Amino acid sequence: MKERGGTAVVSTDTGTDTETREAEEAEDAGAPAEEDLPDPSGPARRWPRIAAAFLVLALLATGVALFAEGRALRDTPATSNRALTDSEATTRVAGDVSNALGKVFSYSPQATAVTKESAKQLLAGKALQQYAALFGQVEKQAADQKLTLTTHVVRAGVTRLTDDSAHLLVFLDQVYERQGKPATTAAAQLSVTARLRDGHWTVVEIASR
């Protein structure tokens, strides 16, 4: 209230100012503080990190799957058979086995002892036991009938080869000669198992086919 020329005048500015302040206070009270406002760039910054994490997991899962598949392929029977991949080792085992069979299945009436001794060095296991059981009869027959047997390996195919074992299919030509009679030729086919011992392949099983 102001006095102007002795007359009391009521000013309305105070009410207007009061209403304005109240309105501003209400707006201030209802409006969140600037630091309380959500940062619109927050999700945008987090999304690349989330996407990158998913990508890493996907790559890891793919790598594990490819490793397992590659391991399975390496462990298949075909790829573990060195007869299909190692020509030098295949040639060596075929040569050792062919040499052994040529010696133990060749004899003459005067040299059966030599054949028997060769068998002890070139055969082992079941093959040596079978050979020893049969050779006693062969030795007597060779002496009585003056029989000579010469064996040539025509072909030796390695069907399976690992670091220390081999399976072979062997084709033989055998020539029988009796004193005073024409020679007779016969073919034979054997399944042979060999083991690597002291750097040499030794025949451990023989079966006729």
Q: Round to whole Å and give the CA distance between 64 and 70.
A: 10
Q: Round to whole Å and give the CA distance between 168 and 160.
A: 7
Structure tokens at 188: 């034979």
- pLDDT per residue as tens digits for the range 22-69: 555 545 555 445 445 455 555 556 656 666 666 666 666 666 566 555
Residue 199, sorted as left (phi over 0), alpha (psi -120 to 50) or beta, turns out to be left
| Cross-strand partners of 158 | 168
- Position 80 scores a pLDDT of 83
Q: Which run of H or of E encompasses 115? A: helix 112-122
SS3 label, residue 31? coil
Please answer whether residues 174 and 149 qualify as being in contact, where contact means their C-beta atoms are separated by less than 8 angstroms: yes
- Position 184 scores a pLDDT of 95
Q: Round to whole Å and give the CA distance between 18 and 16.
A: 5
Q: Round to whole Å and give the CA distance between 11 and 7.
A: 12
Q: Round to whole Å and give the CA distance between 59 and 16.
A: 69
For residue 117, pLDDT over 90 is answered with: yes
Which of 11-15, 41-45, 95-99 has the highest mean predicted lDDT (pLDDT)? 95-99
Would you tell me the crossing angle of helices 112-122 and 125-145 to the nearest 10 degrees? 170
**Closest residue by Cα to residue 203 from 135, 114, 104, 134:** 104
Please answer whether residues 86 and 161 qualify as being in contact, where contact means their C-beta atoms are separated by less than 8 angstroms: yes
Q: How far is CA 132 from the centre of its chain?
A: 40
Q: Round to whole Å and give the CA distance between 135 and 141.
A: 10
Q: In residues, how long is the chain?
A: 209
For residue 177, pLDDT over 50 is answered with: yes
Domain 83-208 has CATH 3.80.10.10: no
Neighbours of 164 (CB within 10 A): 10
Residue 57, sorted as left (phi over 0), alpha (psi -120 to 50) or beta, turns out to be alpha
- pLDDT per residue as tens digits for the range 144-166: 889 999 999 999 999 999 999 99
Higher pLDDT, 119 or 5: 119
